[in-house]
Amino acid sequence: MGTIPGNVRENLMEVFYGIYRRVDPGMGRGWGKDTGQVVDALTELGVIRATGDRLSVRRAIAFFLENLQRQLEREETLGAIGEDLFAIALDSPFRFPATFTFVLRAFSTLEGIGKTLVPTYRFSEVAQPYATELLQLQDASGRNDFVLAQLQQQATELGQAAAAMPTRVAAISDTIDQITAGDLKLRVRDLEGERAARRAGIMQSVTLQTVAGLGVMNVGVQLSLAGRDGPGAAVFAVAGVFGVLALLGLRRVQRLDKFEKDLRQGR
């Protein structure tokens, strides 16, 4: 059986830590779920393309992590991150590399073997103590001197912010100068316009397919009237293909219209 490379193992652990860290009631420490850590680790694993729209991916992952413990309604999901889901569907930033598939297959194999031997076996219950131990090991170094560490961190961040203030002001001024001179152009993604353009493109394809299908059908009728049934049947088959493509395009338009309607109702 193969082994997982060290960097892949570390990134998988980072994904785990980012998802399952919770509030520590003993220390009053607010951890929450680290969406940035999850996105960065998945990018390193190759699950998320670095060239994709990270903002939409980050918002979608954050929403699902915050609602990990409950079943979501479709309307609630569309109302919260509907436009982000549309952007993700267009960009297709998610990939499943071979290593990631290998890990998922290993877990599913363990689950299947366990259920075969013991019908009441649940992998999550067996893995829970080990997962808790991993979280405790990661957090153990900061439990005893948490307050002191937080004060030191805040003092360091304050000093760094004060020292970097002139540089940040200069960077902002330089950016404004570039925008004024036209050297820097801001790009704003209009998701509503993208949906409208996508719908128009599909409708244009449907129109062309319909016209082509009717033209081919006319040729088939002429061949049939001329007594050439063999070629006529072949031409009718081609016309049927165009008709099926047009119907599939209309169904895509209907799905886009339904998505747009649900998105507006969810706002």
pLDDT tens per residue across span 134-178:
666 655 555 555 556 666 777 777 777 777 778 878 888 888 888
Contact 91, 52 (CB under 8 A): yes
% of the chain at pLDDT higher than 90: 7
Q: What is the pLDDT confidence band of residue 184, given thresholds at 50, 70 and 90? A: confident
Alpha carbon distances (Å) from 169 to 40, 67, 166:
28, 39, 5
pLDDT tens digit string along 80-96? 677 777 777 777 778 77
Taking only the tens place, the pLDDT of each residue in 202-230 is 999 999 999 999 998 988 888 888 888 78
